[in-house]
Structure 1
Amino acid sequence: MSKYIIEGGHRLNGNIKPQGAKNEALQVISAVLLTSEPVTIHNVPNILDVKNLIDLLRAMNVKVEKIGEHSYRFQADDLDEDYISSADFVARCAGLRGSVLVVGPLLARLGQSYFAKPGGDKIGRRKVDTHISGLSKLGAMIAYNEERQAYYLVTVNGLKGCYMLLDEASVTGTANIIMAASLAEGTTTIYNAACEPYVQQLCRMLSQMGVKIEGIGSNLLRITGTDHIGGADHTILPDMIEVGSFIGMAALTQSELTIKDVSYDNLGIIPDSFRRLGIRLERRGDDIFIPAQDVYEIETNLDGSIPTIADAPWPGLTPDLLSVMLVTATQCRGSVLIHQKMFESRLFFVDRLIDMGAQIMLCDPHRAVVIGLDHKMPLRANNMHSPDIRAGIAMLIAALSAKGMSTIDNIDQIDRGYEAIDTRLSSAGACISRRE
């Protein structure tokens, strides 16, 4: 198992560029299963979750050709249906959260698919109800296989378009249903659909492949199914979560940093959410410039009460950035309530920050009050263990600002979402090394 050794207290400087978006990559790579024609995808992040998904596609006999540092060509013209029904396929899927996204395409194209209980982060329950309900409405029959601990989905006469109102605006649930509906007969209307930029990107790629999709960017989508889906050439957006992570790093280390090529128009409320913590951001073309500041003062509410930063469906704040915003707030001036609505275990990592000297009161599994130290009491170095991707990057941010040498174990979790983060941060002035 690998770990990071971090000497804190060094300021970052210069430029840093975000990787391709993890969440989009998992969706659009899964979508190649819908067609037998070649699909080329650029700006693919070199991270563990994406590597594992590509390896899963290879095991399904998808042809995968790496044509550039971050570009791949896929062709699923000879899928191995025996393997897709095997115990090994189910076991692989169970260890990879992103594998849920192959269910919709496989069901639509082959008429059957296993749906393993998802693995991945240890951040509490992650429901698959929206996926199951939506695919069922399209005509899938569903049974639970006790031996393989997976759902088995099958269609008799193919999928049929319908109207559905999702119980929650699930990103992966929406993506799965969109992909399944692309090969369904008739029109599928999805209300309360997730509309994150990554879902929009999936829709644009499918439109390029010949699927008619109306309402892209809204929570009301209409997908007209087709019996032929062609190839595509698609470029993945920069990762908005990594952009937010770099903003938090710059603030906590009081650094001057330029984040390059961020696709600013697709960041939504993220820049303004960090401004609420007192961080000055300057848009320069498609870059973000963050000047070094002596003080980062949290904005209070108009009535003087403590502000709340909470996650919400897009265009609200993504829950993946709340861990970053929480650790950033520990050295701001003022207090803030962080409300993580979606996952009930994602805030438990704050114990490690408290050990480092942060003043945080964990109210319950979903809420924590952060009392900022205003950089007057630096965080102390600590030995930590990463339970999930976002907690891992929050711990790394804390360690970059702490006095002394910190270690973070189980960094495979960080590798799942951040490409060569140690190398890229070292080039920006951080003192970080990787050890086995």
Structure 2
Amino acid sequence: MTDNTRPTDSPAQQRAAATTAAALPVPCPGVDPLTSILPDEPLLMMGAGPVPIPDAVAKANSVVINHLGDTMARVIDQVKSMARYVFQTRSNWVLGVAGPGSAAMEMAVSNLAWPGTRVLSIVNGFFSGRMAEMARRVGAEVTTLDVADREIVSLDALAQVIERTRPEVVTVVHGETSNTVWNRQLQDIVRIAKASGALVVVDAVCTLSTMPLEMDAWGIDVVITGGQKGLSSIPGVSLIAFSDAAWERVRTRTVPNTHWCLDAMLAENFWHNAGYHYTAPVSGVLALHEALRLVCTETLEKRFARHQRCSLALQSGVTALGLQLYTPEACRLNSVVGIALPAGVTPRDVCNHISQQYQVEIAGSFGLPIVRIGQMGEQCREHHLFRTVHALGRTMCDLGANVDLPAGVAALEESLSAAGRR
């Protein structure tokens, strides 16, 4: 071991130096700066999230303030007010979550379910299955209503399984990003579940602010979302809203919550009483504030119209290339567009090539033979669409697939122009 002492050091200094050296048996690593790791040209994030963020959000995310000060309390108050507009709820029980959308999902499940709770999970993809697994892990008695790939649940089958199992909680995903299925009958699903006395939890991670969802009018009890998709904020700070009925179940539960950080009653102390729960991700909350402010400035009506216009134009461009959309139109999710790949072309090949050669990032999907392109928040800009369709077409050509690139770009232009004339 290297002798770090010097002859001029006092005996105490020599002992301290020897002790320090002995306490550091692992050498300091040599690492590369981010500038040598990140690509020279920033990637255009057009996958299933995270999405590009506006400058105001990026600037807010660089600020650190006291998480328990008066300034933070004012920010939190405005975040809750704007979130109520985006959720379309008058509920008082709006909370932030220091974690991804899945953490908000787990907060919903772990606060409403405990050992013996009867839970029905409508499962038509990866993320709806995740809610069922979360319920199992807290000891709930979980029944799954499994739906075939690229289909939506039968309301008759739903009514039958609810009659048979009498669930206390029903979970459902509004937009299943894994296979790009839109549960367009959400209002009917909620109505049937509520008629039996169940509370309904809805995952709106990719749909909130991208398409209509009205928590109060539709009778939903819990809505969860992540910041990094439709809201165009950063990953890692999410939102959840409880109805009065759901909050009453949380408040009166007699079984302790197994999750300390995700205990909604403890979280309330920060989000409603300006008190301590844990050190909040203040920069992320500030970023979320700015993201919500931009949604409110645009208004939900205009935002919904922009998302639909851009997504339909993207779909027109993709089909004109000669590629097939994965999900039937009747239940196709606009927020994330799934594209079936030709034989011999793999999702990994496409995603790697389009990223490395054209600096556009898209996504595969949990073993399905598809790639996915997001249409959420800042992804829904015309210049992003032209770059993405061109890059996708060029990638397919480079990989040997037979596509018509000029036709794809022309169809994209025609769809956007036609939407502008209406």
Structure (1/2) with the larger strand percentage: 1
Output the TM-score relative to the length of structure 2. Answer: 0.24
Which structure has more helix as a fraction of its residues? 2
Instruction: Give the TM-score of the pair, scaled to structure 1.
Output: 0.23
